[in-house]
Amino acid sequence: MQMKGAIQIIEWQDLDLKKFYSLGVFMTLTTRVTVYPASVIRTRLQVQKGKALYSGTFDAFFKIMRAEGVSGLYRGFMVNTLTLISGQAYITTYELVRNYVSRYSQSNTVKSVVAGGSASLVAQTITVPIDVVSQHMMMQGPHGEHMARFKARPRPMLNGSKRRITFGQSRDITVQIFAADGFRGFYRGYVASLLTYIPNSALWWPFYHCYAEQLSLLAPSGCPHLLLQAVAGPMAAATASTITNPMDVVRARVQVEGRTSVIETFKQLMAEEGARGLTKGLSARIIYSTPTSLLIVVGYETLKRLSLRADLVENRHW
């Protein structure tokens, strides 16, 4: 019997999938439009050497606005919208794996950890090539100059001279990455991404459910569950982001600078900037992840309510 006030979780078998997917694409796109500028700022902070360009999150925001305008905060956005595919893959994998694990364990923590990690594995396999291209576009200055070193082998031109790697539009970036490193160039940082996002996802879901349940015990009777979940989401995001930020810094450098070794990148970061280097972009990441989580939680939980099978609507209390 469910405890009074306990958060009710809508499971995969409770959903009308046609509504779920059609509304899900709109929700995901709206979320990305809202939080993308923070992703641009986070990437630039993580990749810069020391404080060569920006002294912090707000300094980066104002300098980008002055030098590049609003468009500077949306560099690479059109390419990044392709991650809508990975977003749907993430949701589907999470719900299916959670449903499968429930056959063997009723522990919400176990289901959340396994499903969250599995969903991230699938999503990152799709997302990494898109991220590699969009992150290079994020690093473009107002005149198209690249704001970080991209170490790649230059391709000989027909006259025998060497062509310097420069970055323009998404097509130029795609062609030059392939020319320099082949198909594997699009999976630069794949291992680093998995080491960042699988733990992040595996941590976020159990923290989210834990915080939501604890808040439900503290909240007055009749408090809307969606409000409690809206608070729990950002709390879980801040927790997971803080724990996994060091790996996220390494991931960004591997992908943007064209490095091949996670370990060597980590060693160089520590040698150049010490332990403080592992906290780079943390405030921007929290600023990015907490409203993202708020929007995702409100959007996702609302989406699930709207997608609830008709025969279950009258049986659920929120």
The count of structural domains within the chain is 1
The Cα 105–Cα 179 span in angstroms is: 48
List, run by run, the mean pLDDT of 10-residue segments along the chain (318 residues): 60 84 83 85 82 85 91 85 85 91 90 93 89 79 53 36 45 81 81 86 92 89 86 93 90 74 86 86 83 83 84 64
- Residue 182 inside a domain? The answer is no
Judged by DSSP in three states, 5 sits in coil
- Residue 49 inside a domain? The answer is yes
Q: What is the per-residue pLDDT for 148?
A: 53
Q: Minimal CA–CA distance to 119: which of 180, 58, 202?
A: 202
Q: What is the DSSP string of 50-81?
A: TTSS-SSHHHHHHHHHHHH-GGGGGTTHHHHG
Q: What is the per-residue pLDDT for 94?
A: 92
- Residue 282 inside a domain? The answer is yes
Q: What is the per-residue pLDDT for 191?
A: 83
Judged by DSSP in three states, 251 sits in helix
**Token couple for 184:** 């594997």
Q: What is the per-residue pLDDT for 151?
A: 40
- Residue 195 inside a domain? The answer is yes
- Residue 42 inside a domain? The answer is yes
Q: Which domain holds residue 92?
A: 12-147+188-312
Instruction: Give 95-99 contacts, CB < 8 A, sequence gap 24+.
Output: 95/11, 95/12, 95/15, 96/12, 98/11, 98/12, 99/11, 99/12, 99/13
- Residue 175 inside a domain? The answer is no
What's the per-residue H, E or C state across 99-140? Answer: HHHCCCCCCHHHHHHHHHHHHHHHHHHHHHHHHHHHHHHHCE
- Burial tier of 247 (Cβ tally within 10 Å: 0-12, 13-18, 19+): buried
The Cα 205–Cα 300 span in angstroms is: 13
Q: What is the per-residue pLDDT for 258?
A: 66
Residue 190 in contact with residue 124, Cβ under 8 Å? yes
Q: What is the CATH number of the domain that holds 192?
A: 1.50.40.10
Total-model pTM: 0.68
The Cα 137–Cα 146 span in angstroms is: 8
Residue 140 main-chain phi, psi, to 5 deg: -75, 140
- Residue 279 inside a domain? The answer is yes
- Residue 154 inside a domain? The answer is no
